[in-house]
Amino acid sequence: YFLNFKQAERNRVYTKLLSLRPPSLVHSDSRSPAEMLRKSGLTQRWQQRRLSNFEYLMQLNTIAGRTYNDLNQYPVFPWVLTDYTSTTIDLDDPTIYRDLSKPIGALEESRRRIFEERYRSFEDPSGVVDKFHYGTHYSTAGTVLYYLLRMEPFTSLHVQLQSGRFDHADRQFMSIPEIWRSCLTSTSDVRELIPEFFYNPEFLQNLNGFDLGRLQTGEPIDSVALPPWAASPEDFIRKHR
């Protein structure tokens, strides 16, 4: 069974289950993720540069309950750069970095206003659905399979999700500059990234030669189009990391 509770009820049920100490209980740490982070000393070690940004974010994902073993709770990483169109990139230039104090949906001002208006004006007549800014999520199983389409076992999982076939070519992950543009302008796209964008060049290449279909222009889908400043998938990962 899958049971879904509101937060207050969830916490009471969770506390009660822990008090019963069922024999199959594997993890019984009742501390909140925020408390676990405070007592771990991770932030202090990161501030002292004893942890890299990548290591720190992976630890945060783990404390938050995210894992490579669950596509619905897959580790999530933020978009960091904002320039995916220039022929060269200067990583010492502060203007090329995203404002990490804002969620992805608030980076572009006109889109932020649309989301705020949606929140203010939304009223569910049944009273069941709460007000919301975004109708989609920054990380889902579908997002993970979208990014990892070219790598098994994710290819097979993608095909399974799409009822036995690849999704329409025009909806597939085919360009990093294009998906960044979408994340800035589309009101239905607030996707963040996955860790592979910072260490695994293979997911950007169609090394298995999958027939991913053709765009409406007739152009076949193959490896992912990179920013002009990246000479290769390996070069993209090196600069992006």
Q: What does the pLDDT read at residue 27?
A: 64
Q: What does the pLDDT read at residue 201?
A: 97
DSSP 167: P
**Structure confidence by residue, pLDDT tens digits, 20-79:** 888 887 665 667 888 888 888 999 999 999 999 999 999 999 999 899 999 999 999 999
**pLDDT below 50 — which residues of the chain?**
none
Q: What does the pLDDT read at residue 145?
A: 96
CB 213 within 8 A of CB 169: yes
Rounded CA gap, 117 and 133, in Å? Answer: 8
Q: Which residue has the tokens 């293979």?
A: 202
Q: What does the pLDDT read at residue 28?
A: 59
CB 155 within 8 A of CB 149: yes
Chain centroid to Cα 215, Å, comes to 25
Rounded CA gap, 5 and 16, in Å? Answer: 14
Q: What is the signed CA dihedral for 150, 97, 88, 190, rounded to 10 degrees?
A: 30
Q: What does the pLDDT read at residue 30?
A: 64
Q: What does the pLDDT read at residue 3?
A: 75
Q: Which amino acid is at 130?
A: D
Category of 221 on φ-ψ map: left (φ > 0), alpha (ψ -120 to 50) or beta: beta
**Global confidence as pTM:** 0.85
Q: What does the pLDDT read at residue 153?
A: 95
